[in-house]
Structures are given as C-alpha cells and as structure tokens.
Amino acid sequence: MEQERKIPAHVAIIMDGNGRWAKKRGLPRTMGHAQGAKVVEQILEDADHMGIKYLTVYAFSTENWSRPGSEVKALMNLLRTYMKTSLAKCAKNNVRIRVIGDKTRLDEDLQASIANLEENTKNNTGIGFQIAINYGARDEMRRAVQKIAAEVKEGKMDARDITEQTISDHLDTAGIPDPDLLIRTCGEERLSNFLMWQLSYSELYFTDKAWPDFDKAELEKAVDAYNHRERRFGGLVS
C-alpha cells in the first residue's frame, strides 16, 4: 500500500531571485519584488490548502538595508501595502500574522500597521504566517540573550536554569514549532542568516526556480522531496 504523504507542519522560505527574474525580462528589480509579493500571497493560500500549519518567509534581512535606497523604499512600500490591505483576507482565511525581526528600526507608520494586523489576527486559528522583516538570526539571538540576561539580573531566573528551551522561548518565533522544511529558490544554497537556531534539524530544499515563478506545483515538489528524506534528529538509520 502506498504510504500516506507527510505534510510538513512548518515550511520556511528564502524567496530569492526577484531581481534576476526582472532583469531577464528587461524590467526594473522592483517589478520582480512586486511579482514576488503576489506569489507570497498565493503560496500562503496553497500552503494552507495543503495542510501546512505555519509558513515563514524572509522578506527583508538586516543586511538588505545596504541595497540602493530606492529598492529599500520599494520593498518597504510593498510590505506597507500588505500590512494595510490584508486584514479582510486574513479574517476570511483565518490567518494569524506575526512579524519576526527587529521592528524598532522600521518607519513608525509601518510598525503601527504591523501591530494592528498582528493584534487583529492573533485569535485566528488557521495557518500561522510569519513575515521576517529587518530580520537576522544573529541579531535575533543577540536580542534573546539580552532579554534572558535582563531576567537573570532582575532575579526572575537563575543562570544555571537556562536550557535550550529557554533560548527558543526568547526568540521572535517563541511558541512556534521549528521548521520541518526550508525552501530556497533561484539556485543559491546558503542560509543567509535566516532562522539559524530554528533550522538545526530542518530538511533543506533548493530549487533553480526564481521566486516570482514559484507556484503550487513547485511547493508540491518540495513537499515530495521532503517525503523522501528520512529525518533522524541525530539518531540511527532505522
């Protein structure tokens, strides 16, 4: 009998290749990002229909500030539009939004729309959608260490009681299970400072498709590949 297909509970995606996709078509890079943003929304729906419980996407890294000002602005405007216009759709599809990353460096209006969307979707019970903005794994760990150190200093915790779980609980992804599967598009095979603590035991899947060309069939392929991996978490081959 054919074995039932396992659906990863949490899929994380490094959406690479927007710029190359646009260049190939003689378009400005920002058009690649705009198309990429449409694809994110479609993939969120597809992931939900497939039974994926959490989807986390890398929208803007702590390193992306070094891109030309016009490109940073275009990316921020796409995120701004998403935060302002998604509430009805999230309500309809029961989506819960969480932005991970250091939000304090974002424009105040964007911080306010993020807070609003997070607050208004927090009781939704469907797919959890995490958007990484001004996110870097090292920065996330640095902030977690700061929070833990403050709690130790205030006498709320003894340093000897710090466990791996304590660290997980102080990351931006607290309460969300670690990703089972990481997908990176457009031929690059690096983690690029994304979820480095959380991806310790995740399966990694790389595809040559540029993010704006990614679709449900590609997501299915990644899930199929995941099904052919044997996850051992450091144990023995069964």
Footprint of ligand FPP (CB under 6 A): 15-20, 33, 36-37, 40, 57, 59, 64, 75, 78-79, 82, 131
Concerning whether 16 is annotated as a catalytic residue, the answer is yes
Core vs surface per residue 51-90: b (16+ CB within 10 A) or e: ebbbbbbbbbbbebeebeeeeeebbbebbbebbeebbeeb
- Which is closer to ligand FPP, CB of 133 or CB of 144? 133
Residue among 59 and 148 whose Cβ is closer to ligand FPP? 59
Q: How far is the CB of 81 from ligand FPP (least distance, A)?
A: 8
Q: Which of 148, 219 has the CB closer to ligand FPP? A: 219
Question: What CA–CA distance (Å, rounded) separates 58 from 12?
Answer: 8
Q: Which of 48, 64, 77, 93 is catalytic?
A: 64
Q: 105 vs 147, which CB is nearer to ligand FPP?
A: 105
Closest CA to 218 of 46, 55, 48: 46
Task: Identify the three-state secondary structure at position 22.
Answer: helix
Is 77 designated active site? no
Least separation in angstroms between residue 219's CB and ligand FPP is 15
**Position closest to ligand FPP via CB:** 19
E strands of 70-194, at which residues? 96-100, 128-135, 181-184
Least Å distance, CB 1 to ligand FPP, is: 40
User: Could you tell me the smallest distance in angstroms from the CB atom of residue 216 to ligand FPP?
Assistant: 17
Strands (E), the chain: 10-14, 54-61, 96-100, 128-135, 181-184, 203-206
Integer Cα distance of 225 and 176 in angstroms: 23
Catalytic residues, by residue number, are 16, 64
